[in-house]
C-alpha cells in the first residue's frame, strides 16, 4: 500500500504531484501495517506540517521480523548464495538506488529538512556507492590457511553472524542505513533495521528497491516505530546476533546493558562527538581554511556526528580566521531545502531546534560572545531554521564546548602553544574526528599522532571515503567501524577448522 503525498509546498513553489510514500513495515518482502494498527505522524521540518502517517511498530512486529529474518538466515538462500550471485543482486540494488536518486532525494529532503542539492547530489549517490563498494568486495575476500604442523590443515574462515539488527539516526537516513546494510548483507547476514521515527521514508523505498533487485524475502526487513519500543525490543531480543547502532551515547549505553541482560549479542556503537579543528599560526591560505572550517560545522545544519564544533586556533591568527569564516557564511544560504541554492535547510524538529537555541542561550550566559547567527530565522514558514552561529571567547570548560549540540554552532577557543592545542583538543569525553591545519609537515605528523580520535583530517575536513574505516574513541563508540573491509569483520564470525590428516595405509 502507498500513501499519496500532499504536502503544502506553497512557499517553495515546488510540485511533487504523484510522489508516493511507503509508510508501512516491510517484513518478509511485504509491506504491512503494524500488529496493533497504530500509526504516527512524521512532519516536514521546513514547514512544520504533517507529511505522512507511518506504521507504529511494536514488540510484536519486532518478534515477527526477527522470526522471518532467522528463517531466512537458516535456509541459506542468502548466506549460502554464491558470493558472485550475491554481489550481482547488491549491484542491481545500487543501480536502482542511483536510478531513483531524484525521487529518494526529494523524499529525504521533505522528511529530514536537508538541502535537495545534498540529498540528490550526495546522499543518494553515496548510498548507492556504499552498497556497490561492499557488493564488489563480496567475491574478493579469501579465507586463510594457518601455518599448522605437518599432518594438519588449519583454515580460518569467515561466516555471517546471522541475524543483524540495526538502529539508525535521522541525520543521514539513507546513508546511515547503507553503512549498515552494505557490509551486513554483503557478508551474508539477514537484517532487521529500525530507522529514526522522524525519518523512516527513504529507507522503506530503498528496501522496496532491494526486493526489486532480487534480495530474497525475509533477508532485509524494516520495522518503523519509536526507539523505546522497537529499538529496545531489538536490543533485548534473544535471537538477534549482532546489534549495530548509530546515535547518541546515552542510547548506546542501553544497548550494551540489554545485550548483557539477554544473549550477549555483539554490539557495535557509532556515537556522538565534539570534534576539534586545530589551526596553527603558520597557515597561509586562510580563505581556503575557512571553507573547510565552515563545511565541518555547517554541513547538514551541523547535524553531523563528526561536526568540527570546536575551532581551536592560535591566538596570533584567531581574528583573521574568525573574519574569514564569517565571510565564508555568504556561501551558506539558509532557506527552503527544496531550493537548489540552499545549503542550510531546517533542523529536524521543533524539540531539536529548541535544544540548539537553549545551548546558544547557555553559551551567552556563560560569557561567550555571539559573532554570527544565534536566533531562529524564517519563523513565518513554520520551519525550524537556525542560521550558522559562531561563538568567540569560548573556554573549553564551557557547556557549549563540552556537550554535543548537533546544530550549526561553532565555538572558537584560543591557544598559545602546540602542547596546549593538543591538550584542549583531547580534553573531551568524545573522540570521533579531528582536523588540523598547518603548512608544516612536522606539526601535521606530530599532532595527528597525539589526537585521540578515530579520523584525523590534515588540511581538510574529511571523513575519508568508502575505503577507510569510520568510528570513534572514548564516548564516541566502540565495537566496530563503518565503511571499508573493517566493516565486514564486524558482521562476521571467525571460524577455525583444524583438520587432522591420517597417514598413508
Ligand atoms: P538517538 O540516540 O536518540 O536515536 C538514534 C536511534 O535510536 C533512533 O532510531 C531512535 O529511535 C533510537 N532510540 C531512541 N531512544 C531509544 C531507546 N530508548 N531505546 C532504543 N532505541 C532508541 O540519537 P539521534 O537520533 O538524536 O541522533 C543524534 C545522535 O547520533 C548524535 O549524538 C550523533 O552524534 C549520533 N550520530 C553518530 C554518528 C556516527 O557515525 N558516530 C552518525 C550520526 C549520528 P527514534 O527516532 O524512534 O527515537
**Residue 240 gets which letter from DSSP?**
-
Distance CA 15, CA 164 (A): 39
Average pLDDT over residues 475-498: 93
DSSP state of 300: G
Using CA positions, which residue lies closest to atom 34 of ligand 1?
Answer: 272
pLDDT in tens, 232-281: 999 999 999 999 999 999 999 999 999 999 999 999 999 999 999 999 99
Residues recognised as catalytic: 270, 305
Q: How far is the CA of 214 from the centre of ligand 1 (A)?
A: 30
What b/e readout covers 150-163, taking b as 16+ CB neighbours within 10 angstroms?
eeeeeeeebebbbb
- Does residue 62 line the site of ligand 1, with CB under 6 A? no
Q: Which atom belonging to ligand 1 lies closest to the Cα atom of 270?
A: 41
Residue 228, ligand 1, Cβ within 6 A = yes
User: Measured between alpha carbons, how far is 115 from 339 in angstroms, rounded to an integer?
Assistant: 7
pLDDT at 479: 80
Looking at residue 344, its pLDDT comes to 98
pLDDT tens digits for 25-73?
Answer: 999 999 999 999 999 999 999 999 999 999 999 999 999 999 999 999 9
Q: Is 430 in the pocket of ligand 1 (CB under 6 A)?
A: no
Instruction: State phi, psi for 309 to the nearest 5 degrees.
Output: -85, -10
CA 190 to CA 139: how far, in whole Å?
18
Segment 168-201, tens digit of pLDDT:
999 999 999 999 999 999 999 999 999 999 999 9
Find the helix or strand (DSSP H, E) in which 359 lies.
helix 350-365
> β-strands 3-4, 20-21: how paired?
antiparallel
Residue 260 neighbours by CB distance under 10 Å: 11
Ligand 1 center to 256 CA (angstroms)? 14
**Mean per-residue pLDDT for 153-162?**
98
C-alpha 376/C-alpha 458 separation (Å) is 33
The alpha carbons of the chain give a radius of gyration, in whole angstroms, of 24
CA-to-CA dists, residue 240 to 220, 258, 259, angstroms: 14, 11, 10
Which pLDDT tens digit goes with each residue over 433-468?
Answer: 999 999 999 999 999 999 999 999 999 998 899 999
Indicate which atom in ligand 1 lies nearest the CA of residue 404.
32
pLDDT at 12 over 90: no
Residue 249 alpha carbon, nearest atom of ligand 1: 32
Tell me how crowded residue 441 is: count the other CB atoms within 10 A of its CB.
9
Long-range interactions of 447-451: CB distance < 8 A, separation 24+: 447/278, 447/280, 447/418, 447/421, 447/422, 450/422, 450/426, 451/276, 451/422, 451/425, 451/426
- Helix H or strand E encompassing 418: helix 418-426
The predicted model gives 215-225 an average pLDDT of 98
**Atom of ligand 1 at shortest distance to CA of 172?**
43
Residue 436, strand partner residues: 278, 458
Q: Does any ligand 1 atom lie closer than 6 A to the CB of residue 270?
A: yes
C-beta separation of 195 from 177 below 8 A:
yes
> What value does the mean pLDDT take over residues 157-168?
98
Residue 68: name the closest of 29, 22, 123 by CA. 29
pLDDT in tens, 375-413: 999 999 999 999 999 999 999 999 999 999 999 999 999
Ligand 1 atom with the smallest distance to the CA of 472 is 41
Residue to mutate, 62, 227, 474, ligand 1, most ligand atoms under 8 Å from C-beta? 227
Residue 363 Cβ inside 6 Å of ligand 1? The answer reads no
Check if 471 has its Cβ closer than 6 Å to any atom of ligand 1: no
| 202 vs 109: CA distance, rounded Å | 10
DSSP three-state, residue 63: helix
Cα 170 to averaged position of ligand 1 atoms, centre (Å): 7
Rounded to the nearest whole angstrom, what is the distance from the C-alpha of residue 440 to the centroid of ligand 1? 39
pLDDT in the model for residue 253: 97
Whether ligand 1 lies within 6 angstroms of the CB of 272 is answered as yes
Confidence class of residue 16 from pLDDT cuts 50, 70 and 90?
low
Is any ligand 1 atom within 6 A of the Cβ of residue 271? Answer: yes
The confidence band for 17, taking pLDDT boundaries of 50, 70 and 90, is: low
- Rounded CA gap, 42 and 201, in Å? 9
Across the chain, mean pLDDT equals 95
Mean per-residue pLDDT for 274-299?
A: 98
Cβ of 194 less than 6 Å from ligand 1: yes
User: Which segments within 33-138 are labelled E, that is strand?
Assistant: 39-44, 49-55
203 lines ligand 1 (CB under 6 A): no
Q: Which atom of ligand 1 sits closest to the CA of residue 199?
A: 46
Nearest CA to ligand 1 atom 22: 227
Strand order in the sheet with 163-167: 30-32, 25-27, 220-222, 190-194, 163-167, 242-246, 266-270
Which residue CA neighbors atom 35 of ligand 1 most closely? 247
Closest CA to 245 of 302, 300, 192, 204: 192
Question: According to the model, what pLDDT value does residue 11 have?
Answer: 39
Burial class (CB in 10 A: 0-12, 13-18, 19+), 348: buried
Amino acid at each position: 500500500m502507498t500513501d499519496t503525498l500532499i504536502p503544502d509546498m506553497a512557499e517553495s513553489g515546488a510540485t511533487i504531484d504523484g510522489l508516493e510514500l511507503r509508510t508501512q513495515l516491510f517484513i518478509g518482502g511485504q509491506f504491512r501495517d503494524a500488529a496493533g494498527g497504530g500509526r504516527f505522524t512524521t512532519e516536514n521540518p521546513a514547514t512544520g506540517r504533517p507529511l505522512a502517517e507511518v506504521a507504529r511498530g511494536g514488540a510484536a512486529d519486532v518478534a515477527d521480523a526477527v522470526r522471518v529474518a532467522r528463517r531466512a538466515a537458516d535456509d541459506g538462500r542468502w548466506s549460502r548464495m554464491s558470493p558472485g550471485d550475491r554481489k550481482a543482486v547488491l549491484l542491481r540494488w545500487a543501480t536502482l538506488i542511483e536510478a531513483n536518486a531524484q525521487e529518494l532525494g526529494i523524499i529525504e529532503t521533505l522528511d529530514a529538512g536537508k538541502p535537495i542539492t545534498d540529498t540528490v547530489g550526495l546522499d543518494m549517490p553515496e548510498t548507492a556507492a556504499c552498497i556497490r563498494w561492499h557488493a564488489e568486495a563480496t567475491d574478493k575476500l579469501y579465507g586463510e590457511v594457518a601455518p599448522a604442523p605437518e599432518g594438519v590443515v588449519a583454515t580460518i574462515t569467515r561466516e555471517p553472524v546471522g541475524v543483524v539488527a540495526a538502529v539508525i539516526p535521522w541525520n543521514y537516513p539513507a546513508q546511515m542505513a547503507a553503512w549498515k546494510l552494505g557490509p551486513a548483507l554483503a557478508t551474508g547476514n539477514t537484517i532487521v533495521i529500525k530507522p529514526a521515527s522522524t525519518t523512516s521514508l527513504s529507507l522503506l523505498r530503498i528496501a522496496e528497491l532491494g526486493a526489486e533487485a532480487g534480495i530474497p524475502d525475509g533477508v532485509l526487513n524494516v520495522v518503523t516505530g519509536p526507539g523505546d519500543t522497537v529499538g529496545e525490543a531489538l536490543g533485548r531480543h534473544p535471537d538477534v546476533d549482532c546489534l549495530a547502532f548509530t546515535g547518541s551515547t546515552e542510547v548506546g549505553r542501553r544497548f550494551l546493558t540489554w545485550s548483557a541482560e539477554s544473549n550477549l549479542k555483539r554490539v557495535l556503537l557509532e556515537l556522538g562527538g565534539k570534534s576539534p579543528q586545530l589551526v596553527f599560526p603558520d597557515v597561509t591560505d586562510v580563505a581556503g581554511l575557512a571553507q573547510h572550517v565552515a563545511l565541518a560545522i555547517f554541513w547538514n545544519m551541523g547535524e553531523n556526528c563528526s561536526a568540527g564544533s570546536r575551532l581551536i586556533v592560535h591566538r596570533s591568527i584567531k581574528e583573521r580566521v574568525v573574519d574569514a569564516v564569517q565571510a565564508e557564511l555568504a556561501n551558506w544560504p539558509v532557506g527552503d531545502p527544496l531550493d537548489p541554492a540552499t545549503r542550510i535547510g531546517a533542523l529536524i524538529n521543533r524539540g531539536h531546534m529548541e535544544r540548539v537555541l537553549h545551548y546558544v542561550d547557555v553559551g551567552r550566559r556563560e560569557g561567550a560572545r555571539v559573532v554570527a547567527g544565534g536566533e531562529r530565522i524564517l519563523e513565518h514558514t513554520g520551519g525550524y531554521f537556525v542560521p550558522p552561529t559562531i561563538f568567540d571567547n569560548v573556554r573549553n570548560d564551557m557547556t557549549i564546548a563540552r556537550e554535543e549540540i548537533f546544530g550549526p554552532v561553532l565555538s572558537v577557543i584560543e591557544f598559545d602553544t602546540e602542547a596546549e592545542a593538543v591538550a584542549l583538543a583531547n580534553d573531551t569525553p568524545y573522540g570521533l574526528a579531528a582536523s588540523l591545519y598547518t603548512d608544516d609537515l612536522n606539526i601535521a605528523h606530530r599532532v595527528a599522532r597525539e589526537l585521540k580520535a578515530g579520523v584525523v583530517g590534515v588540511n581538510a575536513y574529511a571523513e575519508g571515503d568508502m575505503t577507510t574505516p569510520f568510528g570513534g574513541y572514548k564516548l564516541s563508540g566502540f565495537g566496530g567501524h563503518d565503511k571499508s573491509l573493517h566493516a565486514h569483520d564486524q558482521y562476521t564470525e571467525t571460524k577455525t577448522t583444524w583438520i587432522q590428516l591420517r597417514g598413508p595405509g
